[in-house]
Amino acid sequence: MSIFNPFSDKDVIHDLKSAAPNAELITDADSLAKQASDSNSIIKSTDSLIAFVKVTDENDIKGVLKVARKYHLPVIPKTTGSSIVAGSNAIENGILISTEKMNHILKVDANDQLAVVQPGVINNELNQAANKVGMLYAPDPGSRTFSSIGGNTNTNAGGASALRYGTTKDSVLALTVILADGREIHVGTDTYKNSFGYDLTHLFVGAEGTLGIVTEITVKLFPIPLGKSIAGAAVFKDLDTLNEAATAVRKSGAYPSLMQAFDANILGAIDKLKQTNYLKDGHAMLIVKVDGSNEQVKSALSKIFNQYNGKQIQLSDEPAEVKNIAGLAMAMFPAIYSDQNSQFFMSDLTVPLSQSTNLIQSIDQLGHELSINVFTAAYVGDGTVHPIIGWPKSAKAVPENVVQMVKAIYHKTIELNGTITGEYSVGMLKNQWVNQQLGAEADYLQQQIKSLLDPMHLLNPKRKIN
């Protein structure tokens, strides 16, 4: 049995200064309290951190882990802290380690169609760097302007274009990772194909920092498509009709990079904010964008919109109009969040393609039954459904009917053979659902993997697994 000698916070801080000399070490109570909870999480931590360490290189990370092993302290990896699922909330007596300062784009190679970056690089900054050489970085989560490639890798972030380009895991070729015991490993290659050994690269993608701390990421880049993009939008009578139209678009061979649906509540919020009148013609809207398109695709979309009696049809390949039409996909956020008297929680459910509107209808029905404001959007091209649930800001805790609704939505998603996290990952919010989502044997296997790579269970405990 291991016996740990008594120690104080001062002992830990002293050792951190020596072990990570290039890092910024923050230990005052006020600053630590501000870092205790992720900014977008409805779960707030009251646990106290010992230190917040902003590292600048791999040696600092190894030093922090050495101190953590010595005192058996939890280490919580963090980049920009934008997790919705409490992925980097404080844990009592923990060390919060930020790789935000490791923010250099090390390589952008148009010939090999790849980039090498540190974890603190912002998603959109990488895309802009790729654009300068005629390439693009495809994963485009809604947080792309402020979330980092490291955070996206830890959560396997998705985005609107996942139906064409895939999620983060589909763009990650290789990783450099520091394990809990301080070993630095490189997994994956700079090649687009690799069948050698176990696929360790994708074991770490989406692991939320529970298996190792990612310090370098090699990602795919795609050429910017030739030709004009086409965007279209139409209002449909109801979600069933929208589902038929969306299915027709998916089967048409158009290969959209965006297919987003709004329910009636979102349309009402947009009408209120923008003085539009979408709701008068139907209770569901479909927005489609196709990159590098042609007249044949434009004609196919027009035919589908009209075949299913779409109203207020917008369809264009003119750049300014394409931007405006595709921009409708993001219009829901200011429309919903303009309600200053409410706070909101957004989830990321993913179901088989044919079931997305079924799930939206179930969510809307639950909202009526439980007297809850819920606005639901969906990426109907990949089956991801985003319910945004609101309740009064004056509430001191999440209301019981909201908790009841979230549980019911999760049960319904699993019942439809879906997953309760398609892109935000598990964090502390959903880890109690692991057994129901994966089954007991897979749950146990995850525990074994964790124990093999992190036998002291120091890295981001209480996250990802139960």
- Each domain of the chain, given as residue ranges in start order, spans 9-98, 105-223, 230-415
Mean pLDDT of 130-139: 97
Q: Given this model, what pLDDT does residue 399 score?
A: 94
- Residue burial 399-430, b: 16+ Cβ < 10 Å; e: rest: bebbeebbebbbebbbebebbbbbbbbbbbbb
For 95, the token pair is: 């060390």
The pLDDT mean for the chain works out to 94
Tell me 4's DSSP state: P
- The pLDDT tens digits for 356-396 are 999 999 999 999 999 999 999 999 999 999 999 999 999 98
CATH level 3 topology of 9-98:
3.30.43
Query: Which residues 6+ apart lie within 8 Å of 220 measured at CB?
Result: 113, 114, 138, 170, 171, 172, 173, 192
- The pLDDT tens digits for 274-328 are 999 999 999 999 999 999 878 999 999 999 999 999 999 999 999 999 999 999 9
Q: Given this model, what pLDDT does residue 55 score?
A: 98
Identify the CATH number of the domain defined by range 230-415: 3.40.462.10
For 187, the token pair is: 């997994």
Identify the CATH number of the domain defined by range 105-223: 3.30.465.10
Q: Given this model, what pLDDT does residue 46 score?
A: 86
pLDDT higher than threshold 80 for residue 231: yes
pLDDT higher than threshold 60 for residue 2: no
Do the two domains 9-98 and 105-223 of this chain adopt the same fold? Answer: no
- Residue burial 353-362, b: 16+ Cβ < 10 Å; e: rest: eebbbbbbbb
pLDDT higher than threshold 60 for residue 62: yes
Give the predicted TM-score (pTM) of the model.
Answer: 0.93
Query: Which residues 6+ apart lie within 8 Å of 433 measured at CB?
Result: 410, 420
Q: In terms of residues, how long is the chain?
A: 466
Q: Given this model, what pLDDT does residue 70 score?
A: 97
Q: Given this model, what pLDDT does residue 176 score?
A: 99
Beta strands (DSSP E) in 318-452 are: 342-346, 349-350, 373-379, 384-392
pLDDT higher than threshold 80 for residue 5: no
- Do the strands 114-117 and 105-109 form a parallel or antiparallel pair, or are they unpaired? antiparallel
Q: Given this model, what pLDDT does residue 3 score?
A: 58
pLDDT higher than threshold 90 for residue 194: yes
Q: Given this model, what pLDDT does residue 241 score?
A: 97
Q: Given this model, what pLDDT does residue 4 score?
A: 61
pLDDT higher than threshold 60 for residue 405: yes
Mean pLDDT of 159-188: 96
Q: Given this model, what pLDDT does residue 193 score?
A: 94
pLDDT higher than threshold 90 for residue 80: no
pLDDT higher than threshold 80 for residue 39: no
Q: Given this model, what pLDDT does residue 408 score?
A: 97
Q: What percent of the chain has pLDDT over 90?
A: 85
State the amino acid at position 379 in one-letter form: Y
pLDDT higher than threshold 60 for residue 1: no
Q: Given this model, what pLDDT does residue 466 score?
A: 75
